[in-house]
Structures are given as C-alpha cells and as structure tokens.
A and B are shown apart, each in its own frame.
Chain A
Amino acid sequence: MTPNSQTGTDTVKVAILGSGNIGSDLMFKLLKQPGHMELALLAGIDPASDGLTRARDLGIATSAEGIKAVLADPDLKIVFDATSAYAHVRHAKALREAGRIAIDLTPAARGPYVVPPANLNTHLDEVNVNLITCGGQATIPLAYAVSRVTPVDYAEMVSTVSSVSAGPGTRQNIDEFTFTTARGLEVIGGAKKGKAIIILNPADPPIMMRNTVYVMPEANDIDEQAIIDSVNRMVADVQEYVPGYRLKNGPLFEQRSTAQGPRTIVSMLLEVTGAGDWLPPYAGNLDIMTASARRVGEVFAQKLLAEATPTEVTA
C-alpha cells in the first residue's frame, strides 16, 4: 500500500468511474475527507467533459478511457462506479476478474445491497457492493432501526426530491427506483413487504430532500420507548457520515385502518440537507449517495490495510 505523503499513514488507491454530478461530488468528498483512501484517478468517457476538466484543475489524474484506464493500473484497489446501471453490468465483470473491489452507485445491483450502519460489516468479504438508491440510503436505516426492536410486517417510504436534482437517469428509470428501494426495505430494512414511492417537486427555491418512512410492526402493542431509542441511535449513526441527516418529526405512533383491521403505524419524517461539496445543499438525495459511498470505501480501505499489515495493526 502507498504511504500517504501528507499524513504519513497508509492509504489505498481508489478510482472513480464516471465524471458526472455524482462522480464529481464524490471526488470533492474524497478530497475533503480522504481517510485511508487516495483518489488516484477519475475516469470518464468524454475527454471534453466538465467533470474531467474540474478534476484536472484540482490536480487529480484523469482519463477519458473509462474502465480501461482503471484496469490498466493494478494499484487501484477500490473503484467507485458512478456511471449507469447499463455500464456497470460490464464494469462489474471486468473489475471482478481484475480482483478490484467495486462500490456500485448505480441501480445495477450485481452485488449485495449495503446500507452502512445496518449491514456493511457483513459484506466486507464481497468484491462488489451496491448502494441501492438515494431514497434507500435515507430510509432503510430507519426501517432497520424499528425491525431490530420488533418484527415488521410492512415498511413504506416516500421520497420527495427537488425536480432540479433528479437527472435524466432517474427520470427515465423511475420504476427501477421503486423496485430497488422496496426490495432494500425488505432485504435490509427487515420488512416482510416493502413499498417505495418517489415524487419530484418543482418548487422554487428547490426543496431539501424529504423522506417519510412508515413502518407497520407485526404487533399492535409495541414498546414505543425502545423504538424511539433505537431510531435516535440510528439517526446519530447516519449523521456520522451524512451530517445533514435529520429526523424532522416522529417517531409518531398511530392506529390506522387497513383491510386487516386497525394497525399500529410508526411514522418518521426525515430531511436530508446536502453538504454542498459540489452539488447544492438541496440535492440531499445525491449527497447521501456519495457520502454513503465514501463511508463504504473507507471501511473497505481499512480492511485492505489491516490484511496487508496484520502485524503492524496488532503491534
């Protein structure tokens, strides 16, 4: 591994694939808070793209050769893929064969879903992990916070993002957002059934990203204080890597009528203010994605370093 010239500690070289908004925001986050990572390459496919120019101006090595440039340098151990689901399917295979760790910010989901405070530690032996969706990163932690206290039948999330922060990828594939997020509420959130809804709001000035999480526990009689405590702990855990993550209202406990009779519903209303690293603060939906990616990368980097120098770690 490479000694970091600034801090003297060991770091792992990482690359970002994709020079769009997500790739650029992640670049700024890795420069601001590198941890045990050294951003050694930003690879896009358009030599004239603003993203590559921006990176060069900041002294980051760039390439317009995309995945080829990443594969050419065996020192790039961790690769963040901020391209598209379509491209990631190909990238995933190539990176796996080359023995690199892929952190997938697209909806391709070739590897298991991860939400850092819920299940990251169980997937550290994987070579490809997927970050689900922005709404998933925001809401699955809260479904998980309830389901670790009491069994959950159903979890539903509603994500409202400002129109200007929803790019063409999201707009043309809006069904994929709902499928993937609903699945994440089940697989990681612990609900027997998940449902996701996304709404684009064109208000001017743009609204902050808002998310509402509704959870229907199996039992109507639940330990409310235990749920409140668990949710508060989870919010604090997420805030460690997404400082703008805030529970605005709730948990609120109410009885609602359903086809199966009255049921207890736990409602939690969130707001995510972006850090403003590259994208504006209202784009909390994109911020939570890149912040989660950085967190996942950091944990993998620490693990690689520990494996490379086990004696130093124990010494």
Chain B
Amino acid sequence: MKAPRITDTTLRDGSHAMRHQYTLEHAKNIVAALDKAGVPVLEVTHGDGLGGSSIQYGFSLTNEMDIIETAAQTATQAKIAALLLPGIGTRKELQEAVARGIKVVRIATHCTEADVSEQHFGMAKKMGLETVGFLMMSHMRPPEFLVEQAKLMESYGADCVYVVDSAGAMLPHQAADRVKALKDALSVEVGFHAHNNLGLAIGNTLAAVQAGADQVDGTLRGLGAGAGNAATELIAAVLDKMDLNPGVDVFGLMDAAEFVLAPMMPFQPIPDRDSIAIGYAGVYSTFLLHAKRLGAEHHIDPRDILVELGRRQAVAGQEDWILDVTLDMAREKNGA
C-alpha cells in the first residue's frame, strides 16, 4: 500500500455549507494553514464548480476568480485546483481560472456522461494543466460500467479519474470494488471522494486507499455538502497511524481545523436526520440545504422531498427539481 496524495477541498465542497459566502480573508487563512501543513493540492471554486454562482445553486458572495487568485498568491508549495462541471462552467471560465493561477483542473460529469468532458480535457491539456476526472454519483452504476466511463476520461487526457460518492451512499466494500476496478483497467491514477451522510466518509476513504487509490479528498472539519466530507485532519491522523503519511503535518492540520476553520463555520455538518436521508436515498449531497429551506417554507418534511428526488433519479446540478418536487407536494397536500 502506498501513501495517497491528499487534495483538500474546503474552499470548494465546503462552499456549499458556507452557502457560498467565503470572503478573501477566509480563503487566505485557510490556504495559509493548509499550505503550511504540507497539503499539496487545494481546490478553490464555487461549490458547483466554475461558473456555479447562480440562482440555481446560490450566488457567491465573493467572485470565485478573486478567491482563486488570493489562494494562488498565498500558497507557497500547494497547487491550486478548480472544479469544472461541463454544462455549468465553460472553457471561458477555465481560461480565466488559469490566468488567475490554477495548476490543476478537476472535470466532473455524472457517472454516465463522461463524453461531455472531451472538449474541456483537451483544452486543459493544451494549457498545460494537471487534469483529474470526476465521475459523480458513482454509487448509481456498477464497477464495470464506471470503468468504461473512466476510460473515456483517460482517453481525453485525464491524469487521474476519481470515483466520487457525491451522495455519501456507498458502503466500504462498494467504494473498494469501484476503486479496484478502475485501478485494474486504467494506466492513470485513481482517486476517491467521500461524503459522510452514512457516517462512512473516513471508512470509505480507508477502503479506497486499501484498494489502491492514489488520491483522496478531504475538507477541514469535513466541511462540505450534506453531512460533509472526510475530514482532512482525520485522514492525516489515520494515514499516519497506518505508516502511510504522505508528508503532511498532522498536528498542523488539527490546528488548522480547530483554530482557522471552526470559528468561521456556520455549523458543523454531521449525519443528522436529513443528511442520513440523503445517503439512504442516494441523492446529491448538495440538495440538503435547498431541501431544508424549501421544506420549511412549504411545511413539508425535507426527507420526503429527498426521497422523491431519489425516486425521480435526479442527478448532480438538478437543484431546480427540489423546487419542482416541493411545489408538487405542496399542491397535493393542499388538495388543489
């Protein structure tokens, strides 16, 4: 077993829990602490990727390009990464992010739609970026299916392909089977991104590492969509105990989580009632806060909304369906 590279995405996945209200000051402090603790890659973008600032997903308080630039100027050793979801962000935003200092782009598609990313991988490689493919909602398809999609990304130029448990719905053996299948079939690296909706973020990350994952994701305090992610400081401590520390300062990361991030967090994501429902129903973790807000406004149990979204097979980015489901349920309830 080898030590995996850790990518911290507090400034991207954490943006969901922050309702996209990060300031330049926040970014500077988070990047400085993670950079000092030796984390090699930091992802910085609106939660829904470049161009995600919108009515659909929530407007950013601070322009993400300014946050990227601040992050790039603050980091001394860490590379700054951006997330891009084709269909939301475009090569226009990618070009600007490169000009502002990103060195890595992570290109995410639903796990059945990898072929929409060809244009973006091609352009990213041309600009000399390190590229990572993200197969979102990977729990929805079996390992052999994911292999075909991962191979497409590899053929477009991905340097690594991630199994992404966007819904926090996987059990450890499912995470391991998927990572192993990709490891066996690809010649590029394989990564794993966890959510903690079923309380398995760290367990699934370890299962992925044991199955050969080359890269894993974390966020300080697990700050992220749904019940959050695997906590970076926790991944570091556990890997260190397994003699797999990839060169990060474990105590430094604990301090970053405790003294830099915790004071600015609006709440500590945990597998609470509605988050467990997300993992259980297998829906996109980001739906959590939208379902809570709309459920409260229309007097509907958010769990019912989330389960119905699962039944409709909603995929990443379909936040408008939360409104649609809520209004349908409200109408039914009022007997109109």
Chain A residues close to B by CB (< 8 Å): 154, 156, 158, 160, 163, 168, 171-175, 177-179, 195, 197-204, 207, 210, 212, 214, 216, 248-250, 252, 256-259, 265, 267, 269
Contact = CB atoms under 8 A, between A and B. Distances in A.
A248 B59 CA distance: 25
Contact of A174 (B60, B87, B92, B328): B87
Contacts of A198: 87
B327 A175 contact: no
A163 B115 CA distance: 11
A216 B119 CA distance: 31
B275 to A, nearest CB: 23
Chain A contact residues: over half helix, strand or loop, or mixed? strand
B61 interface: yes
B323 A252 contact: yes
Given A198-B87, A200-B110, A256 B119 contact: no
23 contacts: A156-B54, A156-B56, A160-B318, A168-B115, A171-B115, A172-B119, A174-B119, A175-B90, A175-B91, A175-B119, A178-B87, A198-B87, A200-B110, A200-B113, A200-B315, A210-B324, A249-B324, A250-B327, A258-B59, A265-B55, A267-B55, A269-B323, A269-B324
Interface string B302-336: 00000000001111111011011001100000000
Nearest to A202: B112
A310 to B, nearest CB: 48
A173 B62 CA distance: 29
Contact of A197 (B61, B110, B317, B327): B317
A286 B105 CA distance: 32
Contacts of B118: 171-172
Interface in B91-122: 91-92, 110, 112-113, 115-116, 118-119
Nearest to B319: A158
Contacts of B60: 259
Contacts of A163: 112-113
Nearest to B123: A175
Contacts of B59: 257-259
B8 to A, nearest CB: 25
A178 to B, nearest CB: 6
B82 to A, nearest CB: 16
B324 A202 contact: no
B56 A212 contact: yes
A23 to B, nearest CB: 23
Given A172-B118, A179-B90, A203-B312, A156 B318 contact: no
Interface in B132-177: none
Given A248-B324, A259-B60, A199 B313 contact: no
A160 B312 CA distance: 13
Contacts of A168: 115
Nearest to A269: B324
Contacts of A201: 110, 313-315, 318
A269 B327 contact: yes
A252 B91 CA distance: 33
A158 B320 contact: yes
B61 A259 contact: yes
B88 A203 contact: no
Contacts of B112: 163, 202
Contact of A199 (B317, B323, B324, B328): B317
Given A156-B55, A256-B55, 4 more contacts: A172-B119, A197-B87, A200-B87, A203-B313
A221 B29 CA distance: 40
Contacts of A154: 55
A55 B88 CA distance: 38
A39 to B, nearest CB: 33
B24 to A, nearest CB: 13
Nearest to A211: B320
> Closest 9 CB pairs between A and B?
A203-B313, A212-B320, A214-B55, A175-B90, A202-B112, A249-B327, A198-B87, A199-B317, A258-B59
Given A158-B320, A216-B55, A200 B116 contact: yes
A280 to B, nearest CB: 18
A142 to B, nearest CB: 13
Contacts of B313: 201-204, 207
Contacts of A212: 56, 320, 323-324
Contacts of B218: none
B321 to A, nearest CB: 7
B96 to A, nearest CB: 14
B86 interface: yes
A174 to B, nearest CB: 5
B56 A158 contact: yes
A296 to B, nearest CB: 27
Nearest to B61: A259
B237 to A, nearest CB: 37
